[in-house]
Structure 1
């Protein structure tokens, strides 16, 4: 006889033994699975721990203490006027309102190649895979094994392994094992809930990365445009100072100007020339920043040139309702998802303190011949249930639950802090829009007055009615007012982008599309 079983408990014999064998062979692995599934269904209860409830929204209908004017920047002729549209939607590609094809192309290139976006996408995929992996615990795990072994009994053993008494043999064993842990108290459900909330947080972090990147590109482009304008203004001042110096030198030759006047003008020219390299340095550094934001090396970027004349200030500014802010800001949504994850972790900690159930089943065969492993007398099977309850752990699980509850309270407090910061950002942006518009109005008036004064002083200098010191003061005043006007003009572009960023933009569909690509 070539088949064998390890440690047989009875030997097949007559008719009674054959009936007993049939009865013992009737349970099969399919029956074990059905029994396990029914037991799991009966044992599955509700998930313990707190059910997540969204934090209360701020009870307010305004961002600022006093209402802002409906029209911003309407006090000076020639200044662009902007209107706040309460409740208006923010366009998904909001940077296009500046009407700059170069800016639009640069933002899209940054989305495609910026490492921070690629990193956030990878983190999101990791979080989603963790959720999918944990969901696998809802179902039984099935393992199939095959184990051949070559064995030899001691010569003269009293109880040989094989009924044939052969000492040297090869044993083939194949086994199907099924294990399942019924989620009686919701341990796995709370774990999946926590992981899903963490994945949601990463998705909102990706949205925030897109919004921040677009805002940084717009801010750097505006800064480049402002620096170019300041460089042009400095060059104009240098050219004017050079002409004034030439006139003074001619007058000095004729006796109409002193050497002190010439030296004073030379000082003014040198000071104007000294300010130019600093501005050029800032311009090159800003161009490097734009290249890196777009995912390029500084030596490979900087193909776009931005100037204030190529940017258009949008006339309509969307202003989301306060109740919409928490829905739009990705950082607020991410903080809320962290509260959800922490809440589910409390349920995990509670479930770990309750009894743990598990079911396992096995079915297989063993024989000295591979082809006869599953013949009648070579099969084996088993069905096992297990119940475990921690009786004494010196407070370990209890204090872990308390730690989870404290982490939940911490995340809730952090969420409230993020909401407060979000409202502060919007209020700051609104005040900045109004204040910078008024600052630009004053700067334009000051520049016009300084330019008129400088023109009159130059005419008087040419006629010999004033000295070089008066011209120096007039030139410095005009230079300062012109640069101040450029900075105030650039601030209005930056304030517009800051308002959209503080409102959270509109990134739900865009981030999902890019992250899934």
Structure 2
């Protein structure tokens, strides 16, 4: 139930109405709690940082074309076009534009609404004069200019603006996150594709070597020096390597298709020929945990949604207080168009309305409780987002350290396996060992070479993931 009171110009002079409006504006108050970002305990540094040094000079540097640290011109061109062509980024951009429009709509409610009305009526009336009945036709014309305004006495409208503005800022952060995610996914797919190219080169070189060994084995078999089982083993090994090469072609095609979609193209429109691989692993400067809160777009979006929920509490609490409305109109009315704008045809009105909810069975209280619960929910989501962000950084730091250690060991293992393969093959040619030992040595050497290439690609992909976990790159970073 709402109790309404309307006062019109006949009883309230315009000066008093204006004074009431000014008092409403000057006395307006915000009912939302004073906003503070949810508190969270931050560590002094990252657990897995090890010898990493915080990048104090780069903390405030803009996040730019971070992918250029991999020194790959093709990757530079592809990643730069993601922001323009990727449809997920386009959708996030449209959502941001929509949020900004909602802010403008909320702000418009703070100002008076003015309308222009015009109308014309034709009516008839019957009358009896000296016992005779007759009909009279009459015209009526009206034109008026009116306005209405709701003074934001309790901050309800301003709270709506604050809520919409915070949501728009969250949408801006969502746009940054969508862009960073798409660019990171493209970079990872591209690096994986280049890794398949180097794997294919290794297999092609290995197949050429297996073909030469097969010829040696065939000659030894024809000369009666080697058994036929040696020939079968050599043929099996060659066929297996060729099958592995075909499997790599399938993997490469899938990665190429994924890159096309990230660029907003169909797979039929896009192709990426093999090119030289740049196994560059950039040195990535760390940030302090406190700085991570400002750099990560997902954290920024979560924090802005907490602010929006805080403003919504004030909007809900405004329902406890009366609503005030001011209205005014000025116009003309006449039976003829020529007399419409005469001074004698003018009419004006001013009005003030006051509405107070008397009984609502606890509806406003429920809305306030719901707004407070929504604030608690968004605060919990913010804290969880921060925790997950710290986990992501720690995971990638640990992976970077472990892969760097593995790389040296794998490089040494690959070198030793290559030497063992050559020695065993020389001994087989001299008839000192069986072909089984040759197969074992060659399989071990090939696996060591492929593992080394995979490890180099993994280090690059982890570098991409670490840059994403830190919220983006740093322009000018070497």
TM-score where L is the length of structure 1: 0.84
Q: Distance in 1 between matches of 2:113 and 2:354?
A: 18
Shift of 1:496: 1.3
| Match of residue 383, structure 1, among 336, 350, 355 | 350
CA drift of 1:49 comes to 2.3
Q: Which residue is 1:20 aligned to?
A: none
Following the alignment from structure 1 to structure 2, what is the Cα–Cα distance between the partners of residues 129 and 183? Answer: 21
| Distance across 2 between alignment mates of 1:57 and 1:37 | 48
1-side partners of 2:236 and 2:56: how far apart? 53
Q: Which residue of 2 aligns with 1:395?
A: 362
Structure 1 position 313, deviation (Å): 2.6
In structure 1, what is the equivalent of residue 50 of structure 2?
Answer: 68
Please list, as runs of the form range in 1=range in 2, the aligned pairs for 1:204-223 lying within 5 A after superposition.
204-223=173-192
2:103/2:165 contact within 8 Å kept: yes
Q: Tell me: CA distance 1:145–1:88, structure 2 relative to 1, closer, same or farther (3 Å).
A: same
Shift in alpha-carbon separation, 1:84–1:340, aligned structure 2, 3 A? closer
Aligned equivalents of 2:276, 2:305: Cα separation in 1: 42
TM-aligned CA deviation for residue 37 of structure 1: 5.0
**1:273 aligned residue:** 242
**Cα distance in 2 between the residues matched to 1:199 and 1:157:** 71
Paired with 1:86 and 1:206, the residues of 2 have a C-alpha distance of 26
Deviation at 1:350, TM superposition (A): 0.5
Going from structure 1 to structure 2, the CA distance change for 1:494 and 1:466 (only over 3 Å counts) comes to same
Mapped pair 1:124 → 2:96? yes
Tell me if the contact between 1:117 and 1:210 (Cα under 8 Å) persists in the aligned partners.
yes
Offset at 1:312? 2.9
RMSD over equivalenced CA pairs, Å = 2.3
With over 3 angstroms needed to count, the CA separation of the structure-2 counterparts of 1:360 and 1:369, relative to structure 1, is same
Q: CA deviation at 1:146?
A: 0.3
1:262-301 matches, cutoff 5 A: 262-301=231-270
State the partner residue of 1:469: 436
**Counterpart residue number, 2:6:** none
Q: Distance in 2 between matches of 1:250 and 1:305?
A: 36
Count of residues paired in the alignment: 459
Tell whether the 8 Å contact from 1:57 to 1:323 is kept in structure 2 after alignment.
no
CA contact (8 A) 2:32 2:314 kept: yes
Identify the residue that residue 93 of structure 1 maps to in structure 2.
65
1:167-202, CA deviations, whole angstroms, 9 ceiling, x for partnerless residues? 212211011111111101000010110000000000
Query: How many angstroms does 1:376 deviate by?
Result: 3.0
In structure 2, the residue matched to 1:76 is none
Deviations 1:380-423 (A, max 9, x none): 22111111111111111111111111111000000000000111
Counterparts of 1:442 and 1:311, CA distance in 2? 17
Task: Identify the match of residue 137 of structure 2 among 141, 154, 168.
Answer: 168
Change in Cα spacing, 1:157 to 1:119, as seen in structure 2 (3 Å) is: farther
- Other-structure match for 1:226: 195
In 1, the alpha carbon distance for the partners of 2:70 and 2:273 equals 15
Task: Give the structure 2 partner of residue 39 of structure 1.
Answer: 20
Matches within 5 A, 1:180-259: 180-259=149-228
| Structure-2 change in CA distance of 1:156 and 1:482 (3 Å) | farther
- Closer/same/farther in 2, CA of residues 380 and 67 from structure 1, 3 Å limit: closer
CA contact (8 A) 1:226 1:486 kept: yes
SS in 2 for 1:489: helix
Which deviates further from its counterpart, 39-48 or 130-139? 39-48
The 8 Å contact of residues 127 and 202 in structure 1, kept in 2 or not, is answered as: yes
Q: 1:253 to 1:241 in 2, by over 3 A?
A: same
Equivalent position of 2:5 in the other structure? none
Distance 1:507 1:170 in 2: 75
CA shift at 1:58, angstroms? 3.2
124-133 or 248-257, which deviates more? 248-257
Measure the CA separation in 2 of the matches of 1:445 and 1:479: 14
Aligned-pair distance for 1:300? 1.6
Q: 1:253 to 1:152 in 2, by over 3 A?
A: same
C-alpha separation in 2, matches of 1:289 and 1:463? 50
SS at match of 2:418: helix
The equivalent residue for 1:13 is none
Separation in 1 of the partners of 2:401 and 2:55?
15
Give 1:52's aligned residue.
35
2:117 is aligned with 1:145: yes
Corresponding residue SS for 2:268: coil
TM-score (norm 2): 0.91
CA distance in 1, matches of 2:192, 2:338: 79
Given the alignment of the two structures, is residue 456 of structure 1 paired with residue 423 of structure 2, yes or no?
yes
User: Alpha-carbon deviations, 1:44-103, whole Å to 9, x = none?
Assistant: 321112121122253321111x65135xxxxxxxxxxxx874663465211111111211
Give the whole-Å Cα distance in 2 for the aligned partners of 1:483 and 1:386. Answer: 80
- Which residue of structure 1 aligns with residue 316 of structure 2? 349
Residue 383 of structure 1 aligns to a residue whose secondary structure is strand
Deviation per CA, 1:144-187: give whole Å up to 9, x if none: 100111111123399xxxxxx98212211011111111101000
Provide structure 2 residue ranges, at least 5 long, that are not aligned to the other structure.
Answer: 1-8
Tell me if structure 1 keeps the 8 A contact 2:116–2:146.
yes
CA contact (8 A) 2:127 2:135 kept: no
Distance verdict in 2 for CA 1:180–1:455, change over 3 Å = same
Unaligned runs of 5+ in 1: 1-23, 71-82, 159-164, 509-517
Aligned to 2:452: 485
| Contact 2:279-2:456 within 8 A present in 1 as well | no
Q: Return the alpha-carbon distance in structure 1 between the equivalents of residues 122 and 368 of structure 2.
A: 51
Give the 3-state SS of the residue equivalent to 1:156 in structure 2.
strand
Change (3 A) 1:457 1:399: same
